[in-house]
Amino acid sequence: MKSFRMTWTQSAVIASTAFWLSACGGSDSSLPQLTAATPGAFSGDCATLATSLTGLGNTVITSATTVPAGLVSNVQTAEHCRVVGKMNERVSAVDGSTYYIGFEVRLPKAWNGRFYYQANGGTDGAIGTASGALGGGPITTALSQGFAVLSSDAGHQVQTTPFFGIDPQARLDYGYNAVGQLTPMAKNLIKGVYGKSPDRSYLGGCSNGGRHALVAATRYADMYDGIIAGAPGYNLPKAAVAQLWGVQQYATVATGTVTTVATAAGVTSTVALPDVSTAFTPTELSMVSAKMLAKCDALDGATDNWVGDVAACQSAFSVANDIPTCTAGRDGACLTSAQKTVLTNVHVGARNSSGAALYSSFPYDVGIKGTSSSGWASWKFANSTGVGRDPGATAFIFTSPPQTNTTTFTGLPYALNFNFDTDAPKIFSTSGLYTESAMSFMTPPNPTDMSKLRDRGAKLLAYHGVSDPVFSFNDTVNLFQGLNAANRGDATAFARLFPIPGMNHCSGGPAVDQFDVISPLVKWVESGIAPTSINASARGTGTNSISALINAEVPTQWAPNRTRPLCPWPQVPRYNGTGDMDAAANFSCKS
């Protein structure tokens, strides 16, 4: 906890020093200013694009249809053309499967001259609706603003299993190559439709999409002018290993069992294994959250059922002192000594037997009580034991050579038997056909060297829920500390991070998780106006008639539409001392 607090404080000093240095002749004024995009006219008929588009390389357009005005990703969107296709189709010589990079491009009839690459999440494998929606309950999309938007499956066509990792090329497509292949093709396609290439190009996504974004910021900095990296799991293989480490921690305090199929020495049998979801009950996690809130609520200057100064909370809150220790049975009002040890270990971060860190630490934050699919319990217990997430991804995509048994592989036994001394290093390994390690093809080549992006006048805007249970917010802070160090102490001229207290993985939790990051980025890239804060709102009961846009985890003590400023790290939103505590206008971003 102490080290986390120190990194925030030290960085605040660095940022302050850098401000004065920049005032003497550095920062924004020394970087190129990109010009604004200008609109273009849609030419021809959508129905004929499948046959009329040429010069797209090894690409086949399979359909082109007109989509009438209406809701797309729950946002009102004007009429546009939807083009679907695939490129680089092949049959794998390794697993015999057919692979291609599938995509869709949505082309507004009223185009604003911009291109947006929508980087999708998870292990990809499906073409998400190409709208460019971000934030918990999107209030806008790139498509609704007039961008031409592309979405892809990143080079494989199955979303529920990670078995594509057996094919070496599919690994590379998923890691970085699909973006490199699709981007020039999409720009040529756009030129064929509008008569000109995009004036400005943007790429954004959350989770694995945030990882794609940071990879693009380094590998493809010459192709993009603005990058949005949400919950950027840029060390995704390490994070997956940390999830497996967590499973082994939870198993030590699990009270229930689950029946599953396991294979050992070639023999498959049904076994009872620890049910890690019983390690901490929802009531216990809510209690832990309440203890954090009681200790840290007022640290931002307002007692408002919200912890705005998460950095200060790391020093104020103590698992040992602030959480009651059970003296009898578990009743939800306390944790056992063993549970407190596990909770501490999980936040300190994954280690091997010698104590070496395998991934970053996690901050303590009130969003630990999150119960949605993006919440703490879902990621720590369910996703960390399922074939389609961390165990399967580690076994088939991130390990070299990969597992090959796709028939009887099950996630929980793999996680419980994972060896952090001998198995974890395999994410850095190469082997035979697998000439790039997972930590090569999945991560930015040199994450703190974004000089090409910077020197073009391009910008990076990152956001991250502080209660993200799978991709540590601390890891993103580490990245931005590195960016600062690589840029004479201050990278804010081209790269800014916006923490979201209470927010879980990309959305949810007791948080203001509805916001627009696209418009501030465009203003920064094309007008040189850097975002000093971003307005965010809660989306509690009654704020929208569309149930999918309601966050049931908004505390009842809040106004359902509470607003707060998202502040550029290391600043935090502090109450001004007067006015409505549910209104962002009464908070200011300060160190």
- Supply the residues annotated as catalytic: 207, 468, 505
Burial 60-75 (b: 16+ CB within 10 A, else e): ebeebeebeeeebbbb
Sign of CA dihedral 393, 397, 400, 402: positive
Pick left, alpha or beta for residue 97 (phi over 0 → left; psi -120 to 50 → alpha; otherwise beta): beta
Give the SS3 label for residue 225. coil
CA-to-CA distance for 275 and 267, rounded, in angstroms? 22
389, two tokens = 């997430």
Question: Count of alpha carbons within 13 Å of 403, Cβ hemisphere only?
Answer: 22
Cβ atoms of residues 189 and 103 within 8 Å? no
Give the SS3 label for residue 534. strand
Specify the residue for token string 């357009």: 61
CA-to-CA distance for 163 and 214, rounded, in angstroms? 25
CA-to-CA distance for 341 and 347, rounded, in angstroms? 10
CB atoms within 10 A of CB 554: 25
CA-to-CA distance for 33 and 25, rounded, in angstroms? 16
DSSP 326: P
Looking at residue 362, its amino acid is F
Cβ atoms of residues 468 and 503 within 8 Å? yes
Scanning 140-273, the segments in alpha helix (DSSP H) are 168-172, 178-194, 208-219, 236-251
Which residues, in sequence order, are CB contacts of 489 under 8 Å at separation 6+? Answer: 14, 15, 17, 18, 21
- Chain centre distance of CA 335: 31
Question: Count of alpha carbons within 13 Å of 299, Cβ hemisphere only?
Answer: 20
DSSP 306: -
